[in-house]
Amino acid sequence: MTSIDVSPEPFRLSMLIYDTRFRSLTIQTVAVLLFMLAAAWLVNNTVQNLNALGKDFDFGFLSSRAGYDINQALIPYTNDSTHGRAALVGILNTLLVALLGCTFATIIGVLAGVLRLSTNWVVAKLAAAYVEGFRNVPVLLWIFTIMAVITESAPAPSAFRGDTATASMLFSDSVAITNRGLYMPWPVWGPGWHLVVATFVLSLIAIILFGRYAKKRQEETGEILPTLWIKLGLFFIPTLLIDFVMGSPITLAYPVLERFNFVGGGFVDKALIALVVALSLYTGAFIAENVRAGILAISKGQTEAANALGLRPNRTMSLVVLPQAMRIIIPPLISQYLNLTKNSSLAIAVGYMDVRATLGGITMNQTGRELECMLLLMGFYLVVSLAISSLMNWYNSSVSLKER
Amino acid sequence: MVDTTFVRTQMIEPEQAPGASVGAVRWARENLFSNWLNSVLTLLSLFAVYWLIAHIGPWFRHAVWNAGSLQECRSIIQATWGEGATGACFAVIRERWKQYLFGFYPADLYWRPTLTFFLMLAALAPLLFSGLPRRTMWFSVAFPGVAYWLLWGGSIFVPLGIYAGFVIAYVVHGAISARRPGPLASVAAVVALLIWWLYLVGPVAGVLSGTGIGTLTPVQSNQFGGFTLSLVIGVTGIAFSLPLGVLLALGRRSDMFFVKTICVGFIEFIRGVPLITLLLVASFLLNIFLPPGTNFDIILRVIIMVTLFSAAYMAETIRGGLAALPRGQYEAADALGLDYWKSMRLIIMPQALKISIPGIVNNFIGLFKDTTLVAIIALLDPLGLTTAIRADSNWNGIIWELYGFVALIFFLFCYSMSQYSQYLERKLQTGH
Amino acid sequence: MTEAAREDLKPVNPATLKVSDEIAIEIARMNKWFGQFHVLRDINLTVNRGERIVVCGPSGSGKSTLIRCINRLEEHQKGLIKVDGIELTSDLKNIDKIRSEVGMVFQHFNLFPHLTILENCTLAPIWVRKTPKKEAEEVAMHFLRKVKIPEQAAKYPGQLSGGQQQRVAIARSLCMKPKIMLFDEPTSALDPEMIKEVLDTMIELAQEGMTMICVTHEMGFAQAVANRVIFMDKGQIVEQNEPREFFNNPKSERTKLFLSQILGH
């Protein structure tokens, strides 16, 4: 091979456009310039407008007194607390709804997705009706509807009273569903509860250790232990035993009907219930479709090959079908979690005080700091969604199938 | 040793499958009661259906369609079905359905949104069904202008003037590129377009509309409401987000670092925040970002934010379509000597968009449902109207009829569209 | 698909392969329907241990369904199937026993894409035969060496060629030490240059005395190793004979027509 020298061309201005070496550089420079011009224009407008309104750009309001009440707070909060704390309460409330919603949506979605694939005609059609019904109606309408179901159909606390009570508590007088919310038993931590909780934590560790032991033993001897039963036993027996020996330090406080309302026990506000129920039913319908698609994507050949090797249906499911289906289901599942979290910003529709209702609602209206509040609010949602999507990217790269 | 030779002389004819049970009994046994778990599930499901019908059935059976208020409805039901009977009061739908369709649009002008709706179907047809002649596309192009003129009224010369900008740009581009081919023509065309739009359209349209030809009674945006509003926001958002989405998708796939970064940043930002925060920006903040003194109405602001919002989702859908195209298509386009924009316009985009149509339809379903969020910033979309009607003293306390009606309309719209997109997906899977 | 193309197969003299008197599979008056479609009609077939049977016929003739009935991937509705003396009924224990004695190789390999080649091979021995992992891996490596791809053990199926995947599928079945092997068109999803490597593996198996039933259109393979060729059409066995007679002197008109099509005469 003889090398041919490329004689360096003298630079001409038109090369900026026609020469492939410079062309992309030119375009990028123009793009960056345009972008910066647009940004400068927006910032300039903003500064002028803020000046005209006599406002400045300052986050100091976060440490001033909020002066409004929040009906549900996971951390101590009064109307003397700061706006910053109100925002934090809102953030925690948003995260609470997101967590509860994702949990229930997953349960509902997996169930509905599997049932929709059932060979049972009635069950499959009912699951399909659920999925289509919830997917095709706006989530805000579902939130309103479910809130209305609770306020209109659930009995008032007074309906539980007296000889002519029209409503009764469930589960032997322990749970009351009312139009204010849900009253339910709540644990009371008596002396010695530490020991019971410690036992429980220890038995969780024991379950993990036992799982490892069982796997190792199977690798060495081939024997398959009935792990499920042993693990279930480990989960319940030691804790119950200690609880009994210690004379039941952890008791439940039951809600009791007083003059106007139930007192004692735990209380979940109807707004939270309506929001969680609506969001999880709505998102569950989408998850059901993802689950169905994931299971359908595993070809019949996989099951047949496993069966032909002599694997029983339940082992075929756990060793062959599920590990593959999970890879297909989990990425869209995570983006459904993201959608649910974003949809939880509709909480204001039922008066639930999430971050959008505190920081992006009352605080914003009271202080008139629209720009600062919106920036913080969007920043919070961005952080959450970036966290969730980096989780997804990590998962995708860790399970991606190796192909040629 | 077994006998290994055999020749069949008489073929066996097919026989009936064994098993005495045929028809419905057999079907029920195989599909509903094949094992105990299935049987339990069947019985539970049937009970659930029965329970629902037993509770909701009478409510529908007792429905009243003719009444002036909820009070009247209730007394009619009690009179007909006895003390304590409950029933639906569909009279409210009968009284308010026009409001649900048109909001507070002037009643004598209802024909305009109605006509726009049917024209929209006609304009969509060539995009959704590939069998129609190409010439019908021109109507789809003209539709946005027509729709604007019909819905908001005013002079036809405003939309015409805006369209004229494209003609001017085309003429300028042609004239210059004939003499000096190159990027100069494109730049000049864009400059001419901007000058026309920013400085000339207004006066020219003003003068022409002075003639009074083609002027419709103007309707203010705040009179829009109901499903008209949902459709206006949804359809405009999707239509404008499509070209923006294409650009963003191309930018995201570009090798140019800055272009890519800007596009990725925009897409991920929009997809990372809830739509409601963007609507709040439209409602509280947008004016702060614009030159002092700019003020335009809230519906336009909402449409801008919704367009940006759906452009990000559109970009991801189209990116999927671009990624699904085989590499060979890109290489073939390069080998033909087409430049980037020509190969995109003539070869890549038509195919990528075709693959993306199901995704685009799904985006539209999502956006159409999301238009209900404008109720939170106090616009009178179907949900906002529902709140307004419930506040009316005649209908105070009515719930299920209104929610049910709105849900039904949304369901019909979205379900039929999702069936269409599934049909397309199946068609793409087989006919590709 | 001509014989010339297959002349390079491993030379083997079918007569030297021994067939015992012991019955491996017995099928009598077996019928199967898909819904109302009568897909298998009055099948009678006895296979002795050590026999190599090739089943051929036009598509839709029921040949795949026939061998899928032998390990109960399909359920037959009438008649009797006995494998290794065990009758196939809906009794799960019998099905388990038969499935662990009968290996099966599919047209589309059906390897488990989420497991490595080695894990594919050890999955069933560990979970069905309850073999210790180390032992299962040794056995797996033995069979992977036999199909000549031990160096691929740590890779995933998606990283292998079609021919290699099919050989892994054969090794995976062999790891269960089956007494009978069923092949369902093992080469028809393969590129021509990969067919030979799979057929060679199958011939080697035959020489070791494995009982085999093979649905295939590889007539070169049939002539090289089969001791019996069965022709099926419309869900029934139309003709069966030893290969030389079957190819050179077919009796039934249908067989003649089929052979003329497939051999391109």
Distance between A129 CA and the closest CA of chain C, angstroms: 28
- DSSP characters for chain C? --SGGGTTSPP--GGGS---SSEEEEEEEEEEEETTEEEEEEEEEEEETT-EEEEE-STTSSHHHHHHHHTTSS---EEEEEETTEE--S-HHHHHHHHHHEEEE-TT----TTS-HHHHHHHHHHHTS---HHHHHHHHHHHHHHTT-GGGTTS-GGGS-HHHHHHHHHHHHHTT--SEEEEESTTTTS-HHHHHHHHHHHHHHHHTT-EEEEE---HHHHHHH-SEEEEEETTEEEEEE-HHHHHHS--SHHHHHHHHHHHT-
Residue A402 per-residue DSSP state: P
Q: What is the mean pLDDT of residues A146-150?
A: 89
Split at pLDDT 50, 70, 90, the class of B345 is confident
In percent, how much of chain B has pLDDT > 70?
95
* C104 touching A (Cβ < 8 Å): yes
Same domain membership, residue B277 and residue B181: no
Choice between C15 and B268, residue whose per-residue pLDDT is larger: B268
Q: Nearest 10 degrees: CA dihedral of B360, A390, A101, A269?
A: -120
C→B contacts (Cβ < 8 Å), by residue, are: 19, 21, 23, 31, 33, 35-38, 41-42, 46, 48, 77-78, 227-228, 234-242, 245, 251-252
Is the pLDDT assigned to residue B20 strictly greater than 60? no
Note whether residue B189 is domain-resident: yes
Q: What is the mean pLDDT of residues A191-203?
A: 85
Single-letter code of the amino acid located at C116: T
Same domain membership, residue B425 and residue B278: yes
pLDDT score recorded for residue B217: 85
The enclosing domain of B298 has a CATH number of 1.10.3720.10
Is the pLDDT assigned to residue B159 strictly greater than 80? yes
Q: Do B258 and A32 touch (CB under 8 A)?
A: yes
Q: Do B6 and C241 touch (CB under 8 A)?
A: yes
Note whether residue B257 is domain-resident: yes
Highest-scoring range by mean pLDDT, A17-21, B257-261, B265-269: B265-269
Query: Which of these ranges, A163-177, A240-254, B196-210, B234-248, has the smallest mean pLDDT?
Result: A163-177
pLDDT digit string (tens) for C178-222?
A: 999 999 999 988 888 889 889 999 999 988 889 999 999 888 888
Same domain membership, residue B51 and residue B67: no
Same domain membership, residue B163 and residue B269: no
Determine contact, residues C153/C116, Cβ cutoff 8 Å.
Answer: yes
Is the pLDDT assigned to residue C133 strictly greater than 50? yes
Choice between C5 and A193, residue whose per-residue pLDDT is larger: A193
* B35 touching C (Cβ < 8 Å): no
pLDDT digit string (tens) for A363-395?
A: 888 888 888 899 999 999 999 998 988 888 888
Q: What is the mean pLDDT of residues B316-328?
A: 87
Split at pLDDT 50, 70, 90, the class of C7 is low
Last-in-domain residue among B162, B182, B216 = B216
Last-in-domain residue among B167, B186, B216 = B216
Sort out which chain A residues have CB atoms less than 8 A from B30's CB and list them. Answer: 119
pLDDT score recorded for residue A143: 93
Give the chain A residue nearest C176 (alpha carbons). Answer: A309
Q: What is the mean pLDDT of residues B221-247?
A: 89
Same domain membership, residue B325 and residue B192: no
Q: Do C242 and B14 touch (CB under 8 A)?
A: no
Total number of domains constituting chain B: 5
pLDDT score recorded for residue B153: 84
Same domain membership, residue B225 and residue B274: yes
Is the pLDDT assigned to residue C144 strictly greater than 90? yes
Q: What is the ipTM of this complex?
A: 0.88
Same domain membership, residue B186 and residue B158: yes
Exposure pattern of B56-88 as b/e (b: 16+ CB <10 Å)? Answer: eeeeeebebeebebbeebbebbeeeeeeeeebb
Note whether residue B27 is domain-resident: yes
CA distance linking residue B189 with residue B191, whole number of Å = 5
Query: Which residues have a Cβ under 8 Å from the Cβ of B301 and sit 6 or more positions away?
Result: B282, B283, B286
Angle in degrees, CA A31, A34, A39, rounded to 5: 125
Same domain membership, residue B178 and residue B48: no
Is the pLDDT assigned to residue C157 strictly greater than 50? yes
pLDDT score recorded for residue B79: 83
Split at pLDDT 50, 70, 90, the class of C93 is confident
Distance between B65 CA and the closest CA of chain A, angstroms: 22
- DSSP characters for A295-307? HHHS-HHHHHHHH
Split at pLDDT 50, 70, 90, the class of A164 is low
* B291 touching A (Cβ < 8 Å): yes
pLDDT digit string (tens) for C226-253?
A: 889 999 999 999 999 988 888 888 888 8
Query: Which of these ranges, A211-225, A239-253, C108-122, has the smallest mean pLDDT?
Result: A239-253
Q: What is the mean pLDDT of residues B387-394?
A: 84
Note whether residue B30 is domain-resident: yes
* B257 touching A (Cβ < 8 Å): yes
Same domain membership, residue B279 and residue B417: yes
pLDDT score recorded for residue B309: 93
Note whether residue B4 is domain-resident: no
Give the chain A residue nearest B410 (alpha carbons). Answer: A137
CA distance linking residue C257 with residue C265, whole number of Å = 10
Determine contact, residues C83/C23, Cβ cutoff 8 Å.
Answer: no
Query: Which of these ranges, B67-71, B211-215, B221-225, C103-107, has the smallest mean pLDDT?
Result: B211-215
Same domain membership, residue B126 and residue B255: no
Query: Which residues have a Cβ under 8 Å from the Cβ of A222 and sit 6 or more positions away?
Result: C126, C129, C130, C131, C132, C133, C135
Same domain membership, residue B53 and residue B175: no
> Shortest CA distance to B383 belongs to which of A242, A327, A148?
A148
Choice between A264 and B164, residue whose per-residue pLDDT is larger: B164
Query: Which residues have a Cβ under 8 Å from the Cβ of A180 and sit 6 or more positions away?
Result: A156, A157, A261, A269, A270
Query: Which residues have a Cβ under 8 Å from the Cβ of C106 and sit 6 or more positions away?
Result: A301, A304, A305, A308, C169, C184, C186
Note whether residue B323 is domain-resident: yes
Split at pLDDT 50, 70, 90, the class of B3 is low
Distance between C129 CA and the closest CA of chain A, angstroms: 8
The half-sphere exposure of B72 on its side-chain side, counting CA atoms within 13 A, is 12
Determine contact, residues B142/B150, Cβ cutoff 8 Å.
Answer: no
Domain of B338 in residue numbering reads as 219-432
Is the pLDDT assigned to residue A265 strictly greater than 90? no
Give the chain C residue nearest B10 (alpha carbons). Answer: C238
Same domain membership, residue B225 and residue B210: no
| pTM as predicted | 0.85
Split at pLDDT 50, 70, 90, the class of A37 is very high
Q: What is the mean pLDDT of residues C74-91?
A: 88
Note whether residue B10 is domain-resident: no
Contact pairs from chain A to chain B, CB under 8 Å: 153
pLDDT digit string (tens) for B354-381?
A: 888 888 888 889 999 999 998 888 888 8
pLDDT score recorded for residue A94: 93
Note whether residue B179 is domain-resident: yes
Q: Do C73 and A220 touch (CB under 8 A)?
A: no
